[in-house]
Amino acid sequence: MFKHPEGGPPLSLIQVDDLRGKTHQGRWPYSLSAGLVIGAHRQYREGRFEISHLFAGVSESAGPLALVGVVYLLLALGIAIVAGLLFAAVFASIGSSMDLSTMDPNDFDIFLANPIVLLPVLVAMLLGVPLAMAMFFAPSLVALDQVPVLKALGLSFSGCLKNIMPFLIYGLVAIVLVILGSLPLMLGLLVVVPVLTIAIYTAYRDIFYG
C-alpha cells in the first residue's frame, strides 16, 4: 500500500482561479498527460472512456497545467545551467594542467577517465531526481483535484518521498519500457506511454485516496 504524503485522510478538493490564457509555453506535454489521467479517472469512476477525454487537459485545466510546464522548464533549465557551469569549471581545472593545443586522443581518454568529470553528471542527477518527484503527480493533482500548482508540486514530492522505493522501481522500469518502445520506429510508445500514465494514475489514487 502506498503512503499518503501527509499521513492523513484523502485530499479535499481545493478550488483555484482559472489561469487560462496567461501562458501557452509548456502546456501540451502536461495537458496531454493530464488528458490520459482524466480519461483513466473517468473510466474508473463512470466505466466509460472517450477520445475527447484525451484533450480534457487542454479544455479544463489549460492555465494551471501550462504553469506546471513552465515551472518544469525553468527548473530543468536551472539544473542544466548548473551542470554546464560545473563541467566548464572541471574542464578548466583539468585543462590547466594539460596543453590543450597538443592534446592527442590518448590524452583525451585520460581526461574522460578522471573521476571528477562525473561531478556535473552526479549533481544533475541529484537535482533532477527531486524535480522528477515534484512533477510526478503534479499534473494529476492539478487536473483532477484543482490543487494550486505550487501545492501540487509539494504534495507530489512528499508522496514520492514517502514511497521512494516504488518510485525508483517505476523509474527504472519506465526507462526500459521507453527504450524498448522507441525501437520499432517509436511506434511502441503508443502503447508504452498510456500504460505508464495509467500506472501513475493508479499510484495517485492509492496514495491520495487510498
pLDDT exceeds 50 at position 12: no
Would you tell me how many other CB atoms lie within 10 Å of the CB of residue 138?
30
Closest CA to 152 of 26, 30, 29, 23: 30
Closest CA to 139 of 49, 46, 41, 206: 41
Pick the range with the lowest mean pLDDT from 15-19, 58-62, 175-179: 15-19
43-63: pLDDT as tens digits: 887 777 777 666 665 666 778
130-155: pLDDT as tens digits: 999 999 999 899 988 899 999 999 99
DSSP state of 110: H
Please give the model's pTM, rounded to 2 decimal places.
Answer: 0.75
pLDDT at 171: 93
Q: Where are the domains of the chain?
A: 27-160
HSE-CB of 4 using CA atoms within 13 angstroms: 9
pLDDT exceeds 70 at position 24: no
